[in-house]
Structure 1
Amino acid sequence: MNENQKICLEKTINSSYKNIAGIVVLKNGKTVYENYFNGYTATNKLHVFSVTKSIISILIGIAIDKGYIKSINQKVLDFFPDYPVKRGEKTIQNVTLKDMVTMTVPYKYKSEPYTEYFTSHNWVNSALDLLGGKGKIGEFRYTPLIGPDILSGILVKTTGQSVLDFATEYLFSPLEIDVEGNVIFRNKEEQLAWYKEKNVRGWVADPQGVNTAGWGLSLTPIEMAKIGQLYLDEGMWKGKQIISKEWVDESTKEHSRWDKLPYGYLWWVIDNKEHIYAALGDGGNVIYVSAKKRIVVSIASLFMPSAKDRIKLIKEYIEPMFD
């Protein structure tokens, strides 16, 4: 990395990517760049929005590895035997776990009913109530918040632990990631305030204590980079297999697609040939992994609507620094 490239990157961030709080770049497992902006430091956590989905994908994989879940092809309703299916509802009965993690399931709404959902007492049941309808299984439909919580419900049902406890035992503790308990909102105002808070902590949960699957996790840029490195090293961390290589391979290859962008198991596939994939969250939160170049880039950002494309920033300014 030469000084001119570094100056150019930071000038670009300060002019065009003003909501970035921190960037960590790993090459061959070593930190080659780390910097913080907007008054943030290495210890500040940020809400990483949909990056949470990719963490849930890892947890589903671990649950399968450990035999808590038999197969990714299990029907979703197998995990909820007490859920009352309404008469004539056939679609929901055929949805599999694989359909859920590839975002190829239909829902009974055109736009997500946030107020109704967040004011409900049980977010997993609310998501199940909205699952199905007249759409077809197999067609990509990205669901930002409502829907993925079914996966949290499945983890709780199969492991007998909260999502956070299971994650702490099998993923966070081995990687020395510290997530400080549940965040439960009592009203809309608390939720909106949390979105704007500078130094958030923990993992959002519903009134039942079930952690969110589509958003709501807070991490530091270093913690995000550790997740990327775990995947780059095919599930190995300090000589221990945290998640099977098979799950890493399957979850980072194309199973569905949104327009021209392929999708794995709650991971975006940026380039099939180069084997580049990413966890992407609203506001410009990213864990980017390039298997060919042995690079991991994590970018943590403050929320802003329609944030500029981080993949462009990585490809044009960050990757060339370490070729």
Structure 2
Amino acid sequence: MAQPFILPRSQPEAQGISSYAITEFINSIEAHNLELHSFMLLRHGHVLAEGWWNPYEANLPHMLFSLSKSFTSTAIGLAVDEGILSLDDQVISFFPDDLPVEVSANLAAMQIRHLLMMGTGNGEDTMGALVQQAEGNWVKGFLSVPVGYTPGTHFLYNTGATYMLSAILQKVSNQTLLEYLEPRLLEPLNIRNATWAVCPRGINTGGFGMNITTEAIANFGQLYLQKGIWNGKRLLSEAWVEEATSKHISNGDSDANDWTQGYGYQFWRSRHNAYRGDGAFGQYCVVLPEQDVVIAITAGLGDMQIVLNEVWDILLPALKSEALAKDEPAAALLQSLLNNLKLDPPQLQLLSVRETAINGREYSLEVNEDKYEKFSIRFEANEATAVFTMSYGDNIFQLGRGAWLPSKIQVSDVENGHNIASRISSSFTWQDDNTLVLVIRYIEMPFYQTIICRFEGEELVLEKTVNVSFGPKETAPIKGKQLNG
């Protein structure tokens, strides 16, 4: 078997950017308290800088959220190249058994291209109708939603539309979206062990749910920058790359907002004639064709615009047309910074006299939305084990004392009847003698949760927050009482 092609590495100066500029970018990111998990900068086909903030690691996949959409678009492009579908195909033509009793003129007019450009004519994101469909038939749920606008005339970011692209592809290829992409895109790009969530009927979700590494994101961006060619071989037609990344519909007119520069086929247009795929909480694949640059980032961010502002304000002006003179001190400083990136666990008060009294004791918890019934924690010299008991099993967290301790947690998925394994890195510290702080990072996702445990006599109050969320970041405090024995 031939060895996979891996992008070459180069010092930044050799590709026309100062190492100091990249150092400034990273320092500015940290000064703004922006939580990046990884960063890769590519230029002229070379990796110039790459780093992962500990406890995140290069070999671990990361949840992409809507960056998945750009991969779904690529699958449609491949299918167009193979002639198994056309962008002019009517959406309803693929699902005659799932149509509503009355098919409106707008629904009948909806084509694959309208799904791609987020111009379906829907007035609201259809995902609610999909997941609430009683039979688990997301296609039927999508087709039941009214189409109030003429397709192609009204932009609406609509994750359900991307799901329909996945469903159509599976219909015409007899393969899931992931199965279809494996030999055509993922294997050639050296994207290994990709996973993708599925709907109740086994169709990949399309608009979200893909998990791959940061380097895989970078390789994908480089393929698009090279107009569909990878390692000297064409994987995707140049015509598709051009069409997918061009503006097909307007989505606003703010000069300062990278989400109002127009939308392509599951790609966002950006300022400075760039384009990108991106996902919630800071998952980016940014392509700057004029500068021959790709930037891949994973993160846990509440504000995604700020990072792009940093790219435009710091990195973009530093990109020069010619190679720069070698600058070994600057390159060494940058490499040292990249090698030592980290997100420190809280280290407030490492010991408490309270530990002996609560060590191994169980607390009964009042009814709560997390369905926790009991809580206990057992301390050792340098770590602790926290157990949250539910009716259908335990969530067990291994935590380092003021340090990250990597482990896996089996999260019970009671609705689907199985456990979900998730890699975590967790720590604990004491805020004061009566207040314990637990931090659990899900290191293949953007999320981490902080659990404050307040002890008073035999009483306990748990307060849980999450760093980023589509909904509330805090849950209601949970009260508990120490059990006898």
Q: Same fold (TM over 0.5)?
A: yes
1:264 aligns to what?
264
CA RMSD, 1 decimal? 2.2
Runs of at least 4 residues of structure 1 off by over 4 A? 108-112
Q: 1:96 aligns with which of 111, 123, 127?
A: 111
Deviation string, structure 1 residues 111-137 (Cα, Å, up to 9, x no partner) = 85279438751323322222x432332
Rounded Cα–Cα distance in structure 2 between residues aligned with 1:258 and 1:310: 21
Distance 2:231 2:273 in 1: 23
**How does 1:107-146 map onto structure 2 within 5 Å?**
107=122, 109=124, 113=128, 116-117=131-132, 121-130=136-145, 132-146=146-160
Partner of 1:198: none
In 2, Cα distance between equivalents of 1:100 and 1:294: 29
Q: Structure 1 320/127 Cα, relative in aligned 2: closer, same or farther at 3 Å?
A: same
Alignment of 1:261-300 (within 5 A): 261-271=261-271, 275-300=273-298
Distance 1:115 1:134, change over 3 A: closer
Q: Distance in 2 between matches of 1:266 and 1:40?
A: 28
Query: 1:254: Cα distance to partner?
Result: 1.1
Q: 1:44 to 1:256 in 2, by over 3 A?
A: same
- TM value normalised by structure 2: 0.58
Equivalent-residue separation in structure 1 for 2:125 and 2:287 (angstroms): 33
1:67 to 73, 83, 86: 83
Which deviations, in whole Å up to 9, do the C-alpha atoms of 1:216-240 show, x marking residues without a partner?
1112111101111000111001121
Contact 1:262 1:269 in 2 (8 A): yes
The alignment partner of 2:160 has SS state of: coil
Matched, 1:317 2:332: no
TM-score (norm 1): 0.85
CA contact (8 A) 1:28 1:295 kept: yes
Q: What do residues 170-209 of structure 1 show as CA deviations (whole Å, max 9, x unaligned)?
A: 11011010234xxxxxxxxxxxxxxxxxxxxx21111221
Unmatched 5+ stretches in structure 1: 181-201
Q: Distance in 2 between matches of 1:225 and 1:109?
A: 32
- For the pair 1:207 / 2:200, whether they are aligned, the reply is yes
SS at match of 2:102: coil
**Structure ranking higher in helix proportion:** 1
**How much does 1:169 deviate?**
1.5
% same residue = 25
In the aligned structure 2, how far is the partner of 1:306 from the partner of 1:300?
A: 13
After TM superposition, give the deviation of residue 282 of structure 1 in Å: 1.1
Q: Does 1:76 align with 2:74?
A: no
Contact kept in structure 2, 1:232 and 1:294, CA below 8 Å: yes
Instruction: Specify whether residues 85 and 300 from structure 1 end up closer, same or farther in structure 2 by C-alpha distance, changes over 3 A only.
Output: same
Return the offset for 1:42. 1.1
Residue 175 (str. 1) matches residue 175 (str. 2): no
Cα distance in 2 for residues equivalent to 1:300 and 1:86: 44
Counterpart in 2 of 1:55? Answer: 71
Partner Cα separation in structure 2 for residue 120 and residue 22 of structure 1 = 40
Please give the alpha-carbon distance, in whole angstroms, between the structure 1 residues aligned to 2:123 and 2:148.
7
Q: 1:115 to 1:249 in 2, by over 3 A?
A: closer
CA contact (8 A) 1:179 1:203 kept: no
Tell me the alpha carbon deviations over residues 46-76 of structure 1, each in whole angstroms, 9 at most, x when there is no partner: 111111111111100000101111x211111
* C-alpha contact (below 8 Å) 2:117/2:266 kept by paired residues: yes
Amino acid of the structure 1 residue aligned with 2:311: I
Task: Give, in whole Å, the separation in 1 of the partners of 2:138 and 2:130.
Answer: 12
Q: 1:80 to 1:119 in 2, by over 3 A?
A: closer
Partner SS for 1:211: coil
Cα displacement (A) at 1:318:
2.7
1:149 aligns with 2:163: yes
CA shift, 1:155, in A, is 0.5
- Find the counterpart in structure 2 of residue 16 from structure 1: 32
Go from structure 1 to structure 2 and tell me whether the alpha carbon gap of 1:114 and 1:95 turns closer, same or farther (over 3 Å shift). Answer: closer
> Is contact 1:284–1:309 with CA below 8 Å preserved after alignment?
no
What is the CA-CA distance between 1:38 and the residue it aligns to? 4.5
Q: Per the alignment, do residues 146 and 12 of structure 1 end up closer, same or farther by CA in structure 2, a change over 3 Å counting? A: same
Higher relative CO (Cα under 8 Å, sequence separation at least 6) belongs to 1
Residues matched between the structures, number: 297
Return 5+ residue gaps in structure 2 as ranges: 1-16, 254-260, 321-485
Q: Structure 2: which amino acid aligns with 1:220?
A: T
Which structure: greater strand fraction?
2
